[in-house]
A and B are shown apart, each in its own frame.
Chain A
Amino acid sequence: MSAATLPAVHLTPKPSIDGSEGQLLEVSMGPQHPSTHGVFRMDVVLDGEQVVKLKPVFGYLHRNHEKIAEQETYLGSMPYTDRLDYFCSITNNWAYALAVEKLAGIQVPERAEYIRIITGELTRLQNHACLIGFLMQDMGASGTPLMYAFREREKILDLLEALTGSRMMCNYMRFGGCRVDFPTGWLQQAQKVVEAFPRFLDEYERLLAENEILMARTQGIGVLPKELAVNAGVTGPMLRACGVNYDIRKVDKYGIYDRFSFRVPLGEHGDVYDRYMIRLLEMRESVKILQEAIRDIPSGAIMDAKTKIRGFRPKAGEAYGRIEAPKGELGFYLISDGSPNPYRYRVRPPSLINLTVLEDMCLSHNVADVVVILGSVDIVLGEVDR
């Protein structure tokens, strides 16, 4: 149903078990609810406060990114990828660059691989920090936790701005490497930020991890069974909160992830609390990777000299490249017909697929929990709608 044909609220009579006339209430939550990071709507059917049906509705931000990219050169659609998930533009760049590199068989120099790891993990840190802040905001803890998270995010954005020239839409990766090398003193600055980060995590954990209200609002809420998560293609922290050990950094070992020692934190119950804790633990692992990468980064070229950026025409064929983006598996599927623009360009967005199980998680919970459950999925609508 389109927005115009659905009245915001209407009542449907329903016979209840004890014979008295009950009523179902159909509510349209959104499209501009503060917990939806972008324009998103849910058709929720309520029995009293309980959710009996929920259908996510999206498409409000749809720009047909895939069609645009099919009319652009391979390099030309690189800046569009930043705008998919506008929180993690660097990892979006990376996924696309990886797919093109697979398609054309391009090797990436050593230093560029390290740069990708460092910038990618910084992006993961700030994404997870923000998500936790937003989750607290959705729970009603307005202000403090989000501001603490944003304070940390600012430090990372400062770094990214010094490197790429923009704070959010970092258009940085290229096929065969990166656009520019680190400016002088950048690595030292990054090291300071990374070293200070665990202190923020400690503080955050002390503040919130054992908070009674947080535990009451999140434990046992929005439980996602393991089998359903796998079958529905849920990926990222949401999947690992259910206890499934699947991290593309470990499975595919893309880039040079096999050189770093980090663990994959796993949850047990698959509820909102586990999803929150997984993100905290993942940030600690990211800090480890960052420290190792900053310590070991070699000098050398940042671009593969043989790669032709202008007039780039890969051989006819196809490739699917995927990475572990902060929200889950972000994949790009490209088909080349030998011309300068891709014949088919497809984004596999983690946010969209993770929403498949939204109804299953929300059923029989209260309407106030829907907001919290949606917050724990971690969506960005730029990526859902493309």
Chain B
Amino acid sequence: MEILLNGSPSGQLSLLIDPEHALAVAKFLRDAEHLRFDYCSNVTGIDWPGKEISVTVKTKKIVDGVEQEVEEIQKSQSAGCLEAVYHLYSMEKKHGPVILRMRTENRTDRVSLPSLTPIWRGAEFQEREIFDLYGVVFDGHPDLRRILMWDGFEDHPMRKDYVEPDDYEYEPTAHDEVLQKAKRHLNRAGWP
């Protein structure tokens, strides 16, 4: 667990928690007598794409028979991550917010986080939204389906590297299926 500082004047600090222990932490925050964070207000997904990290490293090399210190720039690619942020308040004690954050390991193949819906049902639709728009899979969510985009939609439009289609008309829509069905139907009836 780590406390993340916030550079803005709002001064809202946040807790970066390990996804492994997220459920235990959440349960503690909700049930502890002096905390009682019974209300999960806002759940947000954030995309942090991978960056190229360049580090200057001093190495000793032999140049023209003389050992010299040479500066080399080593470049590496960070994997980036997807993040889920939970804003918690307490309706009983009337305090808050406590901000929880969880991060996935990378953006492509290890994109799952534990769902906190079993602790706060208020997260149900918002986690579905993050699943829909960012592609984070919430383990243990009772009803993880797309919520805002249609079922045939394949990409995750809120990711930073999402490329909009040139023409939305050529997206597969539900209407296409209806059209195909209607055509089959008409052919059978002996229509041209």
- A residues contacting B by CB (< 8 A) are 1-5, 58-59, 62, 64, 66-67, 102-105, 228, 230-235, 244, 246, 251, 314-320, 322, 329, 331, 333, 335-336, 344, 346, 348, 352-353, 355-357, 385-386
CB pair A320–B122 under 8 Å, yes or no, is no
Interface: B28 (CB within 8 A): no
CB pair B94–A5 under 8 Å, yes or no, is no
Q: How distant is A176 from chain B, measured CB to nearest CB, in Å?
A: 13
* Neighbour of B174 across the interface among A5, A230, A344, CB < 8 A: A5
Q: How distant is A278 from chain B, measured CB to nearest CB, in Å?
A: 16
**Beyond the given A66-B158, A356-B124, could you list 18 further A-B residue pairs with CB under 8 A, ordered by the A residue number?**
A3-B174, A59-B148, A64-B133, A103-B9, A103-B10, A233-B40, A246-B91, A314-B8, A317-B9, A318-B10, A320-B10, A320-B12, A320-B99, A329-B41, A333-B42, A333-B87, A348-B41, A353-B122
CB pair B41–A4 under 8 Å, yes or no, is no
* Neighbour of B7 across the interface among A244, A317, A333, A348, CB < 8 A: A317
Q: List 8 A-B contacts (CB under 8 A).
A: A59-B146, A59-B150, A230-B38, A232-B121, A314-B8, A315-B8, A315-B9, A319-B8
Q: Which residues of B contact A385 (CB under 8 A)?
A: 148
Q: How many residues of B contact A (CB 8 A)?
A: 41
Q: How distant is B146 from chain A, measured CB to nearest CB, in Å?
A: 8
Closest to A316 in B: B7
Q: How distant is B71 from chain A, measured CB to nearest CB, in Å?
A: 29
Measured in the bound complex, the distance between the Cα atoms of B121 and A64 in whole Å is 24
Q: How distant is B66 from chain A, measured CB to nearest CB, in Å?
A: 45
- B residues contacting A by CB (< 8 A) are 6-10, 12, 14, 38-42, 44, 46, 85, 87, 91, 94, 97, 99, 120-126, 133, 146-152, 157-158, 174-175, 177-178
Q: Given known contacts A315-B7, A348-B42, is B157 in contact with A64 (CB within 8 Å)?
A: yes
Q: How distant is B108 from chain A, measured CB to nearest CB, in Å?
A: 20
Q: Which residues of A contact B122 (CB under 8 A)?
A: 231-234, 353, 356
Closest to A385 in B: B148
Closest to A337 in B: B7
CB pair A105–B42 under 8 Å, yes or no, is no
CB pair A344–B46 under 8 Å, yes or no, is yes
CB pair B120–A231 under 8 Å, yes or no, is yes
CB pair A355–B120 under 8 Å, yes or no, is no
CB pair B10–A319 under 8 Å, yes or no, is yes
Q: Given known contacts A2-B150, A62-B149, A318-B10, is B177 in contact with A333 (CB within 8 Å)?
A: no
Q: How distant is B85 from chain A, measured CB to nearest CB, in Å?
A: 7
CB pair A102–B125 under 8 Å, yes or no, is no
